[in-house]
């Protein structure tokens, strides 16, 4: 099996799995309990919080655990808008965000907020001048993702943050770092809110986190208990939190080595553009994330090619898994290359992938694509 769908989810690391399993046997107590067993579990949660904070150069008390990236993004967008609605009603995002951000902004529009959506260029980048124009004294929130989940474009977050603060120092900047965390180096000084997820870094599903800079207000979306300082009540998913901390620890220790490995895998797979005519790179070929490669194959439907590759034991995607079962009017790829979305296939990698796997994928594509093109009506 060759698994090239790591932007959808990753295989849980063996060490993480062992850590989680052992903790499920011994760390079953409620971390809010006042007895010794509860205290021991709380210590492990605190340790995981510290590991995640150090990964982005934050303080532990700026990290809040959630059920995943979607909840984190929903909370960031809706929570900030509610907290600062008396200050202004303009919010800004871009047209290739993850659905958890896009749909949150649609909800804000229903609530009467002025939503400004920035278009991206043919490589997936926003126009900084357009961002500058969009931010005024009434702008309370800007959401721009760090690494795009479908085409791998890496936005200049440092510059974006600087431009926003120069125009309006009180405007909150939120960046979805689900595809960046543990893979690209992140510094929290370049954002007010950062959202991340465990299962993209070989941790378990069902847990994520938010970085909220001290002094930034985010209204609660949940109510009930005092967990996470009252911000996100409910008994913590302690097993998953501890495992996420371990996954983060491993990812950060290997961040440079993995970056180099996946770069070699991606570059090997890119050779298909020289082997077959009519293969196009969606996004930035040179500067995009090495963890994601999105290709369109002329005269071939992406979903058909996905299943052809599956027959060869190669697993890929046609886009975001979160919206794969939703009838989309327009795919992310169509925003950067109109008309190529239907023929797009996304290959996404982890540190466990190899150059040999990429070479096998190239050979499979060389065989499958010409075969599938024979069935195109002329």
Structure-token match 């977050």, residue found: 157
Measure the CA–CA gap between 252 and 256, rounded to whole angstroms.
8
Q: What is the dihedral of CA 130, 191, 177, 92, to 10 degrees?
A: -30
Measure the CA–CA gap between 267 and 263, rounded to whole angstroms.
6
Look at residues 335, 319, 290 and name the one whose alpha carbon lies nearest to residue 120: 335
Q: How far is CA 48 from the centre of its chain?
A: 20
Is-contact 122 153, C-beta < 8 A? Answer: no
- The full DSSP string for 77-111 is HHHHHHHTTTT--EEEEETT--HHHHHHHHHHHHT
Is-contact 142 80, C-beta < 8 A? Answer: no
Measure the CA–CA gap between 191 and 206, rounded to whole angstroms.
24
The answer to whether residue 322 is catalytic is yes
Q: How far is CA 74 from the centre of its chain?
A: 13
List of E strands, 274-343: 279-282, 292-297, 314-315
Is-contact 90 140, C-beta < 8 A? Answer: yes
Cα–Cα separations (whole angstroms), residue 313 to 153, 213, 332, 351: 27, 44, 26, 19
Measure the CA–CA gap between 145 and 128, rounded to whole angstroms.
14
**Catalytic residue from among 171, 177, 188, 322:** 322
**Percent of the chain as helix, strand, coil, to the nearest 5:** 45, 15, 40
Is-contact 56 187, C-beta < 8 A? Answer: yes
Which residues, 6+ apart, have CB-to-CB distance to 224 below 8 Å?
233, 234
Which positions are catalytic? 322
């Amino acid at each position: 099996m060759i698994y090239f769908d790591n932007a959808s989810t990753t295989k849980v690391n063996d060490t993480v799995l062992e850590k989680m399993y052992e903790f499920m046997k011994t760390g079953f107590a409620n971390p809010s309990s006042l007895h010794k067993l509860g205290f021991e579990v709380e210590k492990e949660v605190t340790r995981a919080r510290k590991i995640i904070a150090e990964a982005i150069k934050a303080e532990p008390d700026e990290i809040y655990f959630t059920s995943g990236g979607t909840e984190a993004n929903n909370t960031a967008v809706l929570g900030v808008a509610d907290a600062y609605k008396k200050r202004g009603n303009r919010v800004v995002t871009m047209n290739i965000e993850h659905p958890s951000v896009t749909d949150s902004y649609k909800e804000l529009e229903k609530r009467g907020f002025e939503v400004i959506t920035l278009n991206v260029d043919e490589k997936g980048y926003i126009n900084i001048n357009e961002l500058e124009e969009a931010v005024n004294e009434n702008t309370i929130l800007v959401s721009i993702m760090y690494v795009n989940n479908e085409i791998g474009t890496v936005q200049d977050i440092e510059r974006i943050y600087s431009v926003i603060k120069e125009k309006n120092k009180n405007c909150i900047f939120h960046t979805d770092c689900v595809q960046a965390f543990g893979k690209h180096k992140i510094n929290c000084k370049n954002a007010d809110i950062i959202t991340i997820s465990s299962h993209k870094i070989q941790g378990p599903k069902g847990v994520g986190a938010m970085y909220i800079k001290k002094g930034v207000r985010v209204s609660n979306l949940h109510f009930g208990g005092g967990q996470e300082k009252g911000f996100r009540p409910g008994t913590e998913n302690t097993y998953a939190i501890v495992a996420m901390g371990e996954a983060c620890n491993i990812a950060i220790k290997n961040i440079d080595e993995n970056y180099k490995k996946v770069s070699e895998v991606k570059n090997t797979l890119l050779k298909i553009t020289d082997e077959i005519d009519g293969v196009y790179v969606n996004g930035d070929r040179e500067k995009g994330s090495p963890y994601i490669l999105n290709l369109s194959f002329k005269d071939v439907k992406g979903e058909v090619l996905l299943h052809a590759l599956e027959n060869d034991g190669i697993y890929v995607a046609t886009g975001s898994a979160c919206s794969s079962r939703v009838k989309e009017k327009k795919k992310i790829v169509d925003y950067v290359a109109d008309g190529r979305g239907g023929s797009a296939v996304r290959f996404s990698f982890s540190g466990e992938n190899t150059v040999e796997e990429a070479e096998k994928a190239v050979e499979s594509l060389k065989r499958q694509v010409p075969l599938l093109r024979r069935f195109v009506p002329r």
